[in-house]
Structure 1
Amino acid sequence: MTLQHRIEDVTRRIEAACMRSNRRSEDVQVIAVTKYVSLEATGAAIRAGLTHIGENRWQDAAAKWDAFGSEATWHFIGSLQTRKVRDVVGKCAYIHSLDRLSLAQEIEKRASAQGQVVRCFIQVNVSGEATKQGLEPEQVKTFLEQLRTLPHVKPIGYMTMAPFEAEPEETRPVFQRLRQLRDELNATLPEPLHELSMGMSNDFDIAIEEGATWIRLGSILVGKEGIS
């Protein structure tokens, strides 16, 4: 299947999921995750109109950003080590894995020095898996209060990763819970956060039905070894 065919297929599935859940397809943004594809394949994705690009390791993303940095909006979607913040701030407009105060403080330090405001998703471990990173749901409200002292760190929503399931429907409770958490917190926050980064190649239809506003698509969209 060619890149254009994959884009068309994903677009149809987004529209169908939105129709089932009475949502507008334009309210769902696609991040093309290029961590498994080459520099050339990344360029082809951008030229095809996939201008939100997601990477999870800066050492792998650096060459792509050097080649195409101004042509796309870059999202850091992987676990971010504090010592790597210097590489990411100023290049990635969004960080999807904010999960601890020390990381937020380092982002604040680097962003302040550059006169930047970094939009961040708070990563929440909804599933409770030991292998997943992120805050426990009950920790999020306190964390948001701590972030108010960091003016260059702008939380815009929440991110979670569901377990990989052979039957995608089994991921629904994870996405439901993140949406519910967002709504519960919004009832108490002076500035509500609306964005939900959830859903990947295996389960994005379910995530959209449960309220995802950003979906992170790799293999189903840009492939793993290249783009035809």
Structure 2
Amino acid sequence: MTLDEYILQHTEPEPEYLYRLWRATNIHTIHGRMASGHLQGRLLKMLVQMIRPKNILEIGTFSGYSAISMAEGLPESGKLYTFEINDEMEDFTRPWIEGCEVSSKIEFIIGDALIDAPKLGIEFDLAFMDGDKRTYRECYEMVMDILKPGGFIFADNTLWDGHVVDHTYDNDHQTKGIETFNNYIAQDKRVEQVILPLRDGLTLIRKK
């Protein structure tokens, strides 16, 4: 048994619906590994239960796995607004979101969150950033403008398969976007932050 297998065996079981979604994502999409999966999904649910947000903003829906996981942790009055810029994902993702038990808590929006999220006129308690890595810093500043004091940002993929410390990727635009973001928030006095070495790196950020 590997350590990863041991961890999953001693973590809350993955719901059957999410397991089917994870399998379908890996079978029918090119980048199936982008789905959060069992461990990160259960962590996101628990963090939402701990923070108890009223409104969550998600940037980068992909197949809907993380959106459903976070919505599971929301109270009945809570709402998650999730933006996906790639309209080609809609035919796959929308039926999975609409078919889940927490669909009433999720608003799935095709569009550019950088432009459209501020138009909602909502002050968010929590944001999950998982969109284009090249624009992470710009996305972060947008989120900070609509995030309550004491609110949280979860930024995914902040270790980027270890590329952030591998100089062979110094000219890769995605890696440079992540490095720029990581360096920026490390110096940002408006927040507290910690990087968790979970999967591809998950940074937890708290706005002071």
TM band (smaller chain): 0.3 to 0.5
Q: Which has the higher strand share?
A: 2
Flag the structure with more relative contact order, 1 or 2, with Cα contacts below 8 A and sequence separation at least 6: 1
Q: Which has the higher helix share?
A: 2
